[in-house]
Amino acid sequence: MKDKFFKALGFDPVAKQTSIKTEIVAGIVTFLAMAYILTVNPAQILVSPDLGAYWPSVFIATAFGAIIGTLLMAFFAKMPLAQASGMGLNSLLGGLVALWAADTYGVRFTLGQAFMMVLISGVLFLILTLVKINGKSFRELVFDGMPVAVRSSISIGIGLFIAYIGFQNAGIIVADPYVQVGLVNFTSFEACKTAIVAFIGLFLIAILDKLNVKGSVILGIIGATLIGIPFGVTDLSVLAGEGGISWKFWENFANFFAGENSVFLSFVDVFKEGLVPEGGSVFTVIMVIITMCMIDMFDTMGTIVGCCGGNRILSDENNKPYNYDKIMISDSIATCAGAALGTSTVTTFVESASGVEAGGRTGLTALTTGLLFLASTLFAPIFTAIPSFATAPALIMVGFLMVGTVSEIRFELDNLTEAIPAYLAIIAMPLFYSISEGISLGIISYVLLNVAAGKGKTVKPLMYVLALLFVLKYIFL
């Protein structure tokens, strides 16, 4: 009976070699792995101290953006992928509206101008997805035109990238004034508390996984959260409604849709103040929009390949995810909706890989995650009580699983024109803290090396165009 019900909704766990229970657990795992974005995103966008009053509204906008994007993945793309405001892109937006933006960009954008640029980039993204060339969208042509080695390197680089994020969130990696980053000082108990708890959580996940315990990742996250209590690192004050997060969700909603300090529909302010900030130029605005669009496109492409590639239930023999166009359409529509709500570019999250690893194979996983994001708006203190160090073990474990495809790349001297670009793409993602930067270096180096080796004719025209665009981005931004 249950199978028929979910099949009527468009989900067929049996056909995808999974079960309803596994799908729901996978959705919970995905949510817990990415729930940090609910509090991190407002902090990234409102990094400027004079914008602090907008925090509650950006929190709700972040949740609503994630709900819309993830439900699109569930019912339209029918894939176990979740969406939310992307890391990196939120930092870009935060830098545009910060007090010190004038020093960085020469101008400071208002929140309305920034969200309008996000909206335009989302519309442009949607057009590139819908417009067909010989039966394929521009974004699909980009995927098909990318060299296999570079494409395969994406999931590996993302694996290292999210593992790096996990080590950071756990407090295992810390800032070092001499070598930029280093290992936390384990001789100081106060300094290494979260690192110890994260390691316990990681070992718990690994042991449970080895014992074939279903939901090992979610159990590891919960275990790390509970262990953090006696260690004094799990902050339960949020459960008392402290920290700007209230249990009175109805008041939060009222303020979001009609309050003074709200980002909802703030993009319409540009019709009064204009899109170009004082002292700025149209060229600056255009380059920011193009940058947002390119980062979203390549982050999404890299993420879905990393999450679905190698899994023959979710991708083909070329590691191209099924329903590729629908995934991209879902992504671009979510970005437009997110801009209207008042959040940064909504994109597919790499943490979706944790749900896929937990057995997620259908849109039911995404539906579960989306409903939990909805619940987070009603019971925000509960969900925000899970600390980032508790979800770190899940990211580290997923990173381990994703780097396993490195054997698919032939790192040999007679294959340098493909091996070196793949290597650069892999190493750049964690070092530059950016998926798109890794992809761009991979593409640029692939074109240059093949041209230098006299193999320029084998490079597809689209690769030349992409390489040129990336070079222009580095020159002008």
Q: With 80 as the cut, is the pLDDT of residue 66 above it?
A: yes
Q: Which of 171, 235, 220 is nearest to 39 (CA)?
A: 235
* Range list of H helices, 184-281: 189-210, 216-231, 249-258, 270-273
Of residues 320 and 344, more confidently modeled: 344
pLDDT reading at 144 higher than 80: no
- pLDDT for the residue numbered 64: 96
| Contact present, 406 and 365 (Cβ < 8 Å) | no
CB distance 288 to 96 below 8 Å = yes
| Residues 6 or more apart whose Cβ sits within 8 Å of residue 441 | 421, 424, 425, 428
Band the pLDDT of 75: cuts 50, 70, 90. very high
pLDDT in tens, 238-261: 777 665 567 778 877 888 888 788
Q: 172 pLDDT band (50/70/90 cuts)?
A: very high
pLDDT in tens, 101-127: 666 556 788 899 999 999 999 999 899
**Residue 42 neighbours by CB under 8 Å, 6+ apart:** 54, 55, 58, 59, 62
Residue 133's H or E segment, with its range, is strand 132-133
Q: What residues contact residue 431 under an 8 Å CB cut-off, 6+ apart?
A: none
Is the pLDDT confidence value at 14 over 60? Answer: no
Check if the beta carbon of residue 161 is closer than 8 Å to that of residue 435: yes
Nearest Cα to Cα of residue 391 among 219, 262, 142, 135: 219
Query: How many angstroms separate the Cα of 150 from the Cα of each of 418, 446, 464?
Result: 7, 8, 15
Q: How far apart are CA 401 and CA 306, in angstroms?
A: 10
Q: What is the DSSP letter of 76?
A: I
In which band, very low, low, confident or very high, does the pLDDT at 11 lie, cut at 50, 70 and 90? low
Distance between CA atoms of residues 204 and 199, nearest Å: 8
Joined together, the tokens standing for residue 360 give 């997620």
Closest CA to 356 of 390, 391, 384, 315: 315
62, HSE (Cβ side, Cα atoms, 13 Å) = 25
Q: What pLDDT, on the 0 to 100 scale, is given for residue 4?
A: 63
Beta pairing partners, 370? none
Interval 22-38: pLDDT, tens: 889 889 988 888 887 88
Inform me whether the pLDDT recorded for 373 exceeds 60: yes
Q: State the pLDDT at residue 1.
A: 54
pLDDT (average), residues 272-278: 86
Beta carbons of 64 and 341 less than 8 angstroms apart: yes
Residues 423/426/428/431 CA torsion (nearest 10 deg): -120
Residue 369 has pLDDT above 90, yes or no: yes
- The 10 Å CB-count burial string (b at 16+, else e) for 287-310 is ebbbbbbbbbbbbbbbbbbbbbbb
175 token code pair: 């800032």
Across 313-321, average pLDDT: 73
Which residue has 């339960």 as its token pair?
Answer: 236
**What is the largest distance, in Å, between two alpha-carbon atoms of the chain?**
66
For residue 30, with 0-12 CB atoms within 10 Å meaning exposed, 13-18 middle and 19 or more buried, which class applies? buried
What pLDDT, on a 0 to 100 scale, did the predictor assign at position 284? 76
Q: Are 464 and 431 in contact (CB under 8 A)?
A: no
CA distances from 430 to 135, 297, 444 (A): 35, 19, 18
